[in-house]
Amino acid sequence: MTLTELANPSRFLALAGRILPWLVAATALVLLIGLYQSATAPDDYQQGATVKIMFIHVPNAWLSMFVWGVMSVAALGTLVWRHPLADVAQKAAAPIGAAFTFLALVTGSLWGRPMWGTYWQWDARLTSVLILFLMYLGLMALWRAVDDPSRAARAAAVLTLVGAINIPIIKFSVDWWNTLHQPASVFRMGGSTLDRAFLIPLLVMAVGFTLLFLTLHIAAMRNEILRRRVRTLQMLQASTSAV
């Protein structure tokens, strides 16, 4: 089914209804396997059992970036091709991405407490994710500030693309800033080379969380399409009854 055929919301709704059960099953299966592997993973010689937090922190951090990427592609769909589903895809992804970013921050903080002794450290990665979180919140505020869904989508699309350009710039700047103000104890989260015993559960969890995002995103897109229909019908009702 090509993207142009998928542009029909009704067809998308039908397709969503059919594949969601499979996606749910796949997500649950992969996440369960990942959880089991995380639980049975050995202890790190340096971090002990707290390395298990890495198995949920890293996938969330990866997803926080991935979702902005998905929104950027959707933003291009809105601005360049005016694809009808692009607006919906953009809007549905934002809160989910924000939630994953929040989880990355919180799990990072909880991982940092045993490792650094503080709940927060202005380390390059955590700081970049914090800025990303602010950008998600700003984007969600913009969605809510404009009434008309199409206009909101186009404004959000511009902000998403500007944000996408900025994310590498911010990452580079914060990295640079952090090396300038290098704290006394340097702790590389996860280490540069990961042993297979840790790499496999991590990858499985990453796949599981990505599937989770896909499932939630398609379900949220379906809700958004229905929400727009409600709005259209409400406006029709208001206009015909105001005789």
Partner 1 sequence: MTALAALIGRDIRVALRVGGGALIGVLFFLTVVVLMPFAVGPDLALLKQLGPAILWLGALLASLLTLDRLFMADHDDGSLDVILMSRTPLEFVCAAKALAHWLAAGLPLVIATPVLGLLLNLDGAATGAVALTLLAGTPALTFTGMIGAALAVTLRRGGLLLAVLVLPLSIPVLIFGVAASQAAISGPLPFGTPFSILCALSLASFVIGPFAAAMSLRQGLD
Partner 2 sequence: MSLGPYATFIVTSYALVTAVVAALIVWVIVDYRRQKARLHDLEASGVVRRSGRSAVDAS
**Which run of H or of E encompasses 128?**
helix 124-145
- How many residues lie near partner 2 (CB under 8 A)? 42
Q: What does the per-residue mask of binding to partner 1 show for 167-196, with x meaning CB under 8 A? A: --xx-xxx-xx--x----------------
CA 96 to CA 144: how far, in whole Å? 15
3 binds, among partner 2, partner 1, none (CB under 5 to 8 A by kind): none
Does 17 engage in binding with partner 2 (CB under 8 A)?
Answer: yes
Cβ count near 69 (within 10 Å): 14
Residue choice 23, 96, 132, 174 for contact with partner 2 (CB under 8 A): 96
CA neighbor of 205 nearest in space, from 53, 46, 20:
53
Q: Which of 30, 34, 52, 133 binds partner 2 (CB under 8 A)?
A: 52
- 109 vs 173, beta carbon nearer partner 2: 109
Could you give the CA distance from residue 44 to residue 37 in angstroms, rounded to a whole number? 14
Torsion of CA 225, 10, 83, 213, to 10 degrees: 60
- Using the structure block, give the residue that is written with the tokens 């809700």: 223
What does the binding site for partner 1 look like in residue numbers (CB under 8 A)? 79, 131, 134-135, 137-138, 141-142, 145-146, 151, 154-155, 157-159, 161-163, 165-166, 169-170, 172-174, 176-177, 180
